[in-house]
């Protein structure tokens, strides 16, 4: 409200002068972004935090907008030396840098690929680009061959066509997700519009920089997609409470973008254009800033659609090697209490929930997870075409760090795997009831996997939380546990998001103490008793095998490896 009051006072003062030319109009439209638009939309980009306390970065973002935006008012309104103007613009440049980092952190920590949240991530990068062009204007510099009014218009473009438009598209996706059963076609259309708008923005920017073909392509995308976005705004408005003001603000935003898009098409596609630059500024610029973006962001702020992304605050392991990991990694991490776990979990019933009953599992499957040290494994790798060379290259690296050495053999040869369970100090790891599972080759004792197992609870779901120490970091696989099939006695552990609940913690991450990055990897592990193994699995004629497992791995959605496990109980182990 303070920013809106300052902007309104500046607008009234300039209007009263009677010489409201295009330079003053462009400056006034630009100031609407840091004073009103960005502070209005920023709270909607907050990531839900399960602890209830936002991150330090977002706390800083809540403090910076007001002083950094107010410093811009004298920089634009007063006749100051260029050095003073640039100095007054630096706080806003710092703020936009923090906003861009906030967008990167949001993207890195998300467990699932959600188009509506990705659009918001990209939107948070745009004010930084606009601030760079703003600094160019304040210093009266040239950038990429542009100077004068075109520099300021580019800063305006980054804030409204970039941040404002993409933020609306992302928040609208949240709104449509909550009403996907009521408007399924609109929900299916939204990703197409959102991805297209993310591509149209850089295309138009590159085209204006000198590539006419790219400019035509960017303008064409906007002319095609923005009316679709207007239609989605109207659909979203129709599905909310008719008594709320937010609904009618969305309607006004959708109608305004139709008018501004018509002017943009005439300006960008026709040469010579029937629309002059002053006309574009007065009508297209004003309709976009106040109508489309202003009403749209305000309406969505009032409606505040909820994100389906996973809350931040997953507890990751702090473990990491200083070079090589190796089978002796856990020797220095023995707990002081002398714990001696025998399995990957102490009691599998801890994973019980309304849609998962551990008592339905085969007793042998449960016993394997509770007494893992009493079993021996054989593994048969099956690398998929197109990934075998990459698997060999990864193997070269993995053997040197002695971690994640995926078996590789073109003849589907069986590899004997010896496993041991050791206790790990919770204080050093940072999680609870941690135990290590060290898997080595029976033939030569070389390491395959060195993993630290734990679990954590989010909502009503307990996840298996597995860390593989790497140099100065670790790869963490967070797995959701389900039945292998309705009525089945087998087990399914997966990092893939559920279609009904994409916001869970499951995923494969590269974790560091400062940041956890969701990797484009996924895995699913199926475990069955020998008699409950599906017929689709490779046959096994060895009576000593009591369990079968299949480990599937994907890279960017393409399966690159299957590991088929044959599991025997060691001599002397008790009955299942």
3-state secondary structure 423-477: ECCHHHHCCCCCEEEEEEECCCCCEEEEEEEEEEEECCEEEEEEEEEEECEEEEE
Q: Under a CB-based contact definition with an 8 Å cutoff, are residues 292 and 299 in contact?
A: no
CA distance 209 to 500: 44
Q: Under a CB-based contact definition with an 8 Å cutoff, are residues 399 and 373 in contact?
A: no
Q: Under a CB-based contact definition with an 8 Å cutoff, are residues 151 and 143 in contact?
A: yes
Q: Residue 372 pLDDT > 90, yes or no?
A: yes
> How large is the average pLDDT for residues 100-121?
91
Q: Residue 325 pLDDT > 90, yes or no?
A: yes
Least confident of 382-391, 417-426, 492-501, 508-517: 492-501
pLDDT value at residue 20: 65
pLDDT value at residue 99: 95
pTM summary value: 0.84
Q: Under a CB-based contact definition with an 8 Å cutoff, are residues 64 and 56 in contact?
A: no
pLDDT value at residue 576: 45
pLDDT value at residue 285: 80
Which range is most confident: 144-148, 174-178, 236-240, 540-544? 174-178
In the chain, count of helices (H) and strands (E)? 19, 12
Q: What is the 3-state secondary structure (H, E, C) of 372-430?
A: HHHEEEEEEEEECCCCHHHHHHHHHHHHHHCCCCCCCCCCCCCEEEEEEEEECCHHHHC
Question: DSSP letters of 316-335?
Answer: -----BSS---TTGGGGG--
pLDDT value at residue 172: 96
SS3 state at 524:
strand
Mean pLDDT of the chain: 89
pLDDT value at residue 196: 94
CA distance 129 to 293: 18
pLDDT value at residue 474: 96
Backbone angles phi, psi at 526, to 5 degrees: -110, 135
Strand partners, 380: 564
The tokens describing 269, both together, are 């596609």
pLDDT tens for 472-509 read 999 999 999 999 988 889 999 999 987 666 678 999 99
pLDDT tens for 265-306 read 776 676 676 767 777 777 878 888 899 999 999 999 999 999
Q: Residue 526 pLDDT > 90, yes or no?
A: yes
CB-CB neighbours of 441 under 10 Å: 16
pLDDT band at 18 (very low <50, low <70, confident <90, very high): low
């Amino acid at each position: 409200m303070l920013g809106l009051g300052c902007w309104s006072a500046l607008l009234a003062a300039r209007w009263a002068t009677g010489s409201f030319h295009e330079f003053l109009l462009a400056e006034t439209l630009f100031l609407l972004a840091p004073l009103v638009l960005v502070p209005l939309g920023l709270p909607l980009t907050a990531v839900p935090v399960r602890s209830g306390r936002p991150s330090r970065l977002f706390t800083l973002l809540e403090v910076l907008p007001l002083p950094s935006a107010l410093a811009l008012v004298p920089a634009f309104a007063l006749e100051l030396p260029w050095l003073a103007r640039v100095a007054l613009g630096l706080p806003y440049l710092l703020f936009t840098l923090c906003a861009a980092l906030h967008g990167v952190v949001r993207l890195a920590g998300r467990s699932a690929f959600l188009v509506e949240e990705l659009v918001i991530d990209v939107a948070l990068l745009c004010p930084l680009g606009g601030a760079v062009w703003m600094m160019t204007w304040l210093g009266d510099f040239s950038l990429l061959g542009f100077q004068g009014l075109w520099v300021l218009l580019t800063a305006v473009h980054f804030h409204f066509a970039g941040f404002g438009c993409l933020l609306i598209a992302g928040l609208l996706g949240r709104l449509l997700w909550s009403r996907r059963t009521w408007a399924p076609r609109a929900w299916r259309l939204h990703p197409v519009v959102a991805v297209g708008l993310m591509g149209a923005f850089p295309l138009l920017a590159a085209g204006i920089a000198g590539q006419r073909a790219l400019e035509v392509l960017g303008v064409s995308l906007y002319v095609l997609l923005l009316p679709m976005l207007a239609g989605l705004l109207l659909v979203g408005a129709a599905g909310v409470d008719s008594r709320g003001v937010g609904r009618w603000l969305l309607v006004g935003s959708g109608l305004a973008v139709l008018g501004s898009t018509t002017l943009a098409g005439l300006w960008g596609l026709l040469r010579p254009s029937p629309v002059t630059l002053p006309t574009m500024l007065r009508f297209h610029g004003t309709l976009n800033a106040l109508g489309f973006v202003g009403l749209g962001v305000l309406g969505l702020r009032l409606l505040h659609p909820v994100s389906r992304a996973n809350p931040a605050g997953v507890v990751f392991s702090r473990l990491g090697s200083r070079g090589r990991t190796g089978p002796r990694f856990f020797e220095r991490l023995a707990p002081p209490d002398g714990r001696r776990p025998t399995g990957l979990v102490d009691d599998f019933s801890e994973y019980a929930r309304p849609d998962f009953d551990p008592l339905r599992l085969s007793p042998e499957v449960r016993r394997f997870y509770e007494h893992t040290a009493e079993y021996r494994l054989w593994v048969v790798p099956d690398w998929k075409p197109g990934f075998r060379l990459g698997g060999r290259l990864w193997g070269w690296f993995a053997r040197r760090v002695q971690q994640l050495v995926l078996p590789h053999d073109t003849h589907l040869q069986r590899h004997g795997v010896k496993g041991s369970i050791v206790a790990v100090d919770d204080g050093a790891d940072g999680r609870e009831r941690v135990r290590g599972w060290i898997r080595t080759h029976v033939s030569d004792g070389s390491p395959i996997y060195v993993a630290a197992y734990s679990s954590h609870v989010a909502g009503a779901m307990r996840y298996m939380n597995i860390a593989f120490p790497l140099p100065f970091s670790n790869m963490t696989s967070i797995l959701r546990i389900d039945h292998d099939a309705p009525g089945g006695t087998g087990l399914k552990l997966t990092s893939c998001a559920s279609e009904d609940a994409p916001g869970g913690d499951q995923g494969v991450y590269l974790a560091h103490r400062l940041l956890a990055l969701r990797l484009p990897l996924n895995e699913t592990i199926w475990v069955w008793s020998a008699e409950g193994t599906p017929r689709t699995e490779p046959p096994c004629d060895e009576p000593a095998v009591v369990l079968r497992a299949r480990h599937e791995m994907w890279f960017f959605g393409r399966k690159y490896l299957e590991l088929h496990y044959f599991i025997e109980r060691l001599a002397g182990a008790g009955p299942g």
